[in-house]
């Protein structure tokens, strides 16, 4: 089995991102374990094993909540985009924290069982027919398995091997995993809580994830309502006066794809907004000498052809454009990736159209 892929090089931003994450995890664990044990429901004497398990479990839940908040925050405000670009590092670190939590649980609660501790984890409680005492461990096991799968397939190799659309669909499993964590905490941890500080943190986190996704979806719909597929022959992008030299306008198309329309050296060109590498937002990239650079990992494409410069072979779909008066319009039917399209000159106006 082999596949060609181009590894992403680490840079100072990635090192800084990971350093901040590590410091954040260390600070959370320190506060949970040593600075505020009374505040976090540790009035009753508990052994260090259980104490550590709770700390790492709470940390994993908070990290997963932050991960799921980054996406909608980046859609609402572009200043959050740097957090989005390296979010996979966040996810991998969350898996290690969650595994540490699971290890403490297995090594304490099930280590004294007559049977193997892993078998005891699965079969010690089978009261699936009742809410009180429901085996909430099953939710945690499911979430942990999903997180491990996502972390293991987060490398660029799997992105290239599976193709970005399939890879993206697999990583949508993060949502059922989060719901499973919510159920795990709801059925398990909260049943044993005497102090409700963590209950408040848990509810605030889950509400933030749901609320931010809803707000981002509504804001996105207001910004770029998708026209009906059966009426969308040519889609209005914007007035020509709104285009800026070297920048793009991004538009949601009826089938759900996004097109990026660029103005470069007085001519208009349109390509898919999704980078062939990791679906990065090409419309937010810089354009130099007809090449737009993906802001995520630096892949480049000629906006006239959708092709990466030699020796690279990546391609993205292109789109036909026309000017109707001063309105920039795009044909929503994407050309095959790498199809050259003659740019539309903006001087002279009238009705000009790009041909393949």
Residue 33 confidence (pLDDT) above 70: yes
Range of lowest pLDDT (110-119, 189-198, 300-309): 189-198
Query: How many angstroms separate the first and last alpha carbons of the chain?
Result: 37
Using one digit for the tens of pLDDT, what is the confidence trace for 337-347?
Answer: 989 999 998 87
| Neighbouring residues of 272: CB distance < 8 A, sequence distance ≥ 6 | 257, 258, 259, 260, 282, 306, 316, 317, 318, 319, 334, 337
Stretch 76-95: mean pLDDT? 81
User: How does residue 350 score in pLDDT terms, banded at 50, 70 and 90?
Assistant: very low
Quick one: pLDDT at residue 52? 86
Where does residue 18 rank: exposed (0-12), middle (13-18), buried (19+ CB within 10 A)? middle
Q: Which two tokens stand for residue 341?
A: 């399209």
The β-bridge partners of 274 are 281
Q: Are the CB atoms for 150 and 91 separated by under 8 Å? A: yes
Provide the 10 A C-beta neighbour count for residue 220.
15
Q: Which two tokens stand for residue 102?
A: 């699971």
Residue 2 confidence (pLDDT) above 50: no
Q: In 110-234, which residue ranges form alpha helices assigned H by DSSP?
A: 117-123, 137-152, 156-162, 164-171, 174-187, 197-223
Stretch 294-314: mean pLDDT? 85
DSSP state of 31: I
Residue 281 main-chain phi, psi, to 5 deg = -80, 95
Q: Considering only the top CATH level, what class is 235-345?
A: mainly beta
Q: Are the CB atoms for 350 and 338 separated by under 8 Å? A: no
């Amino acid at each position: 089995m082999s596949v060609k892929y181009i590894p992403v090089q680490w840079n100072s931003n990635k090192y800084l991102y990971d350093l901040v994450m590590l410091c954040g995890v260390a600070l959370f664990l320190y506060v949970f374990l040593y600075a505020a044990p009374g505040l976090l429901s540790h009035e009753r004497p508990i052994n260090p094993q259980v104490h550590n398990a709770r700390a790492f479990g709470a940390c994993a839940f908070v990290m997963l909540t932050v991960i799921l908040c980054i996406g909608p925050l980046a859609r609402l405000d572009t200043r959050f985009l740097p957090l989005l670009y390296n979010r996979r590092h966040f996810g991998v670190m969350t898996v290690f924290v969650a595994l540490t939590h699971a290890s403490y649980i297995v090594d304490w609660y099930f280590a004294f069982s007559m049977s193997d501790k892993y078998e005891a984890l699965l079969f010690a409680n089978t009261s699936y027919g009742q809410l009180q005492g429901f085996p909430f461990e099953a939710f945690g096991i499911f979430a942990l398995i999903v997180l491990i799968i996502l972390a293991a397939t987060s490398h660029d190799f799997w992105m290239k091997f599976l193709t970005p659309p399939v890879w993206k669909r697999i990583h949508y499993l993060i949502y059922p995993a989060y719901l499973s964590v919510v159920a795990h905490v709801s059925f398990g941890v909260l049943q044993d809580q005497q102090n409700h500080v963590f209950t408040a943190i848990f509810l605030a986190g889950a509400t933030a994830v749901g609320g931010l996704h809803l707000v981002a979806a509504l804001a996105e719909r207001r910004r770029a309502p998708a026209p009906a597929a059966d009426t969308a022959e040519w889609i209005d992008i914007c007035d020509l006066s709104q285009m800026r030299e070297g920048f793009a306008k991004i538009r949601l198309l009826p089938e759900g794809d996004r097109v990026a329309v660029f103005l470069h050296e007085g001519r208009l060109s349109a390509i898919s907004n999704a980078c062939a590498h990791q679906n990065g937002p090409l419309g937010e990239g810089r354009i130099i000498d007809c090449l737009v650079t993906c802001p995520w990992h630096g892949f480049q494409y000629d906006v006239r052809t959708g092709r990466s410069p030699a020796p690279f072979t990546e391609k993205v779909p292109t789109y036909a454009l026309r000017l109707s008066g001063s309105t920039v319009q795009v044909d929503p039917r994407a050309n095959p990736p790498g199809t050259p399209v003659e740019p539309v000159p903006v001087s002279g106006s009238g009705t000009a159209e790009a041909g393949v």
